[in-house]
Structure formats: structure tokens, C-alpha cells
Amino acid sequence: MSNFFGLISEWFESIPRIPLAEWTDTMIAFLTLHLRGTTRAISEVLQTYIVGLQDLLTIIPPLLLILLIVIIAWRVAGKSVALLSALGLLFILNIELWDVTMQTLAMLIIAVFLCVLIGLPLGILAAKNHTVHRIITPILDFMQTLPAFVYLLPAIPFFGLGVVPAVITTLIFAMPPVIRLTNLGIKQVPHDLMELGESFGSTFFQILFRIELPLAKSTIFAGINQCIMLSLSMVVIAAMIGAKGLGGIVWSAIQTLNMGMGFEAGVALVILAIILDRITQSFGR
């Protein structure tokens, strides 16, 4: 018996090590070489938008912007959320973290916008097509479970340092719930409502926009909500490759062991998260 296992392990040891790491390196080198032109172009465009939005948000007088956000919160989420937003944002202004918060918000808006722009159609496609669903599901699992640090580094050769690779890694990490919940929301539309659409002579897109998406709305918003929360949780990690904002403050606080500064930035992040969470949650209703 022991002889048998001996043979087996001997045989197993004779198999050479699978060079996954080397393959990955070669692969990334290859991709960098051939895709760099494209990725750098994308990078520049993204950079323009993010910086543009950051500038816009910091140019508007803070009190005016706070008023605007409070009005939006009041319209979509009611009085208490509006009050909460007002207090929270004024506090951020008071502790002089306004500009960095706006940097983070701009990055967040762009990242979430891209997540929806890419994730929503993919979710719809996955709901409509079984093959797409079968291909996408393991990729999503992979995207969500692979530690962010692992793809943080390869993002640099493609997109350089700074806010763009930060947004890209945020995308990878935060997009899966948009895809998953869009897919789920559309699949949950009752069969007879689909039949209704078809029997009255609706086209594919009429069924999509008049029946499926409105009925899947709250599920999709739950996905967007999760996406925002995941993006926020990436803020500090993103700061490691040069995204500034609140994450940058936290990161440098960690490096200099400046606990007070880290805590302030952390609280500002939490405030931002709560406001965004409440507002998007009530969109879904």
C-alpha cells in the first residue's frame, strides 16, 4: 500500500511546476506591448473627465453645492435624509476636508457611472442569453474574489499612475453587483408580463424599456447601491496608486501614523457613504 502511494507521489513530483506566475508576467508584458496605445488613450480621456469633474465640484462654492445636494436628498429621500446630508456635509466643510471629499466624490461618480454604463447592458445581455450568462458568471466571481491588490499593480503599466488606474480597479471590483442584480431583476419579471408585451406586438426594445427595466428598477438600484458602497471601500486602496482625495489622506495618515488625521478622513468617508446610500436606496422605490 505505502509502496503504491510512493509510486504515485514519485510520479507527481516528476511533473514540472506549472509556471502560472511566468505566464501571467509574459501575458501582461505582451498585452502591455500591444494594448498600451489604446489603454493610454483611454487613460487620457478618463483623466480629462475626472479632473474636469473634480475641478467643477471644487469650483462651485461649497455652501451652494451643499444646498443643491440637500435639495436633491429632500426631493428623492425625504426630510430626514436631507437634514442628515446638511449636517454631514457642513461637518466635512468645517473640518476642512471639503476639497479632498469632492475629489473622492468626482472619482466615485465617474467610476459608478462607468459601472452602470458597462454593467447594465451586460446584465441585460446575461438575462437574455444563456451562453452570455454562463460565460459572465465565473468572471464575476473571479473579479469579486481576487484581492484588489493583485490587479492594482498590473493596472499601472496600462494606465500609468494616478486617478485613472484607481478608477479602473474600482470598476473591476464594484461592477459585478450591477451586472448580477440587473440580470436578476430582469429574470424576475413574471412570464405573463413578457407574454403581454409580445402579444400586443412590442419589439424587443419596447419590452425592455416599457416592461422589463421599469419592473426591474428596484433590484437594479439595489445593485447600483452596492456598487457605490464597494467603490467607497476601494478609495483607500486606490490611493496607493496615486488617486488623491480622502483615500490619499488616510493612506498618508497610515504611513505617518497620524491617527487623528486618518480618523477625520475616515469619518468624512462614512458621511459620504451614508448620504449616497440613503439617496440611491430611495431611488429604487
Partner 1 sequence: MESKLIVQHLTKIYGNNTAKAYEMLKQGLPNDEIRKKTKQVVGVRDASFAVNEGECFVIMGLSGSGKSTLLRCINQLIKPTAGKIILDGQNLAILPSKELIEIRRKKIGMVFQRFALLPNRTIVDNVAYGLEVQSMPRDERYKKSLAAIEMVGLKGWEHYYPANLSGGMQQRVGIARALATNPDVLLMDEPFSALDPLIRQDMQDELLEIQKKLHKTIIFITHDLDEALKIGERIALMKDAQIVQIGEPEDILLSPATEYVARFVENVNRSKALTASTVMMKPRSIIHPRTGPRTALHLMEKYGISSLFVTDQQGGLIGYIKPEDAAELINQGIKKLDTIIKDDAPTTNLDTPLSDLLEILAHTKIPVAVIDEQNILKGVLVRGAVIAGLAGERMRFDE
DSSP line for the chain: -HHHHHHHHHHHHHSPPP-HHHHHHHHHHHHHHHHHHHHHHHHHHHHHHHHHHHHHHHHS-HHHHHHHHHHHHHHHH-HHHHHHHHHHHHHHHHTT-HHHHHHHHHHHHHHHHHHHHHHHHHHHHHHH-HHHHHHHHHHHHHHHHS-HHHHHHHHHHHH-SSHHHHHHHHHHHHHHHHHHHHHHHHHTS-HHHHHHHHHTT--HHHHIIIIIHHHHHHHHHHHHHHHHHHHHHTHHHHHTTT--HHHHHHHHHHHHT-HHHHHHHHHHHHHHHHHHHHHHHHHH-
Per CB under 8 A, does 214 bind partner 1?
A: yes
**CA angle, 217 as apex, 144 and 115 as ends, to 5°?**
35
Nearer of residues 7 and 193 to partner 1, judged by Cβ: 193
Nearer of residues 36 and 217 to partner 1, judged by Cβ: 217
Find the binding residues for partner 1 in span 157-196 (CB under 8 A): 190, 192-193, 195-196
C-alpha cell at 51: 479632473
Nearer of residues 35 and 196 to partner 1, judged by Cβ: 196
Per CB under 8 A, does 206 bind partner 1?
A: yes
Question: Of the ranges 39-47, 204-212, 254-262, 276-284, which one interacts with partner 1 (CB under 8 A)?
Answer: 204-212
Nearer of residues 50 and 222 to partner 1, judged by Cβ: 222
Nearer of residues 30 and 209 to partner 1, judged by Cβ: 209
**CA angle, 169 as apex, 146 and 101 as ends, to 5°?**
125
Question: Of the ranges 87-95, 149-157, 199-207, 270-278, which one interacts with partner 1 (CB under 8 A)?
Answer: 199-207
Nearer of residues 212 and 264 to partner 1, judged by Cβ: 212
Question: Which position among 16, 37, 61, 201 is part of the footprint of partner 1 (CB under 8 A)?
Answer: 201
Work out how close the CB of 193 gets to partner 1 at its nearest, in angstroms, rounded to a whole number. 6
Per CB under 8 A, does 137 bind partner 1?
A: no
Per CB under 8 A, does 10 bind partner 1?
A: no
Nearer of residues 206 and 258 to partner 1, judged by Cβ: 206
Per CB under 8 A, does 131 bind partner 1?
A: no
Per CB under 8 A, does 215 bind partner 1?
A: yes
Per CB under 8 A, does 210 bind partner 1?
A: yes
Work out how close the CB of 285 gets to partner 1 at its nearest, in angstroms, rounded to a whole number. 11
Nearer of residues 113 and 204 to partner 1, judged by Cβ: 204
Question: Which position among 125, 132, 148, 198 is part of the footprint of partner 1 (CB under 8 A)?
Answer: 198
Question: Which position among 199, 255, 260, 285 is part of the footprint of partner 1 (CB under 8 A)?
Answer: 199
Work out how close the CB of 134 gets to partner 1 at its nearest, in angstroms, rounded to a whole number. 16
165, 241 Cβ separation under 8 angstroms:
yes
Per CB under 8 A, does 202 bind partner 1?
A: yes
Q: Which residues contact residue 158 at a Cβ distance below 8 angstroms, ignoring those fewer than 6 apart?
A: 31, 32, 35, 36, 39, 40, 43, 165, 168
Residues that bind partner 1 (CB under 8 A): 190, 192-193, 195-203, 206, 210-211, 214-215, 217
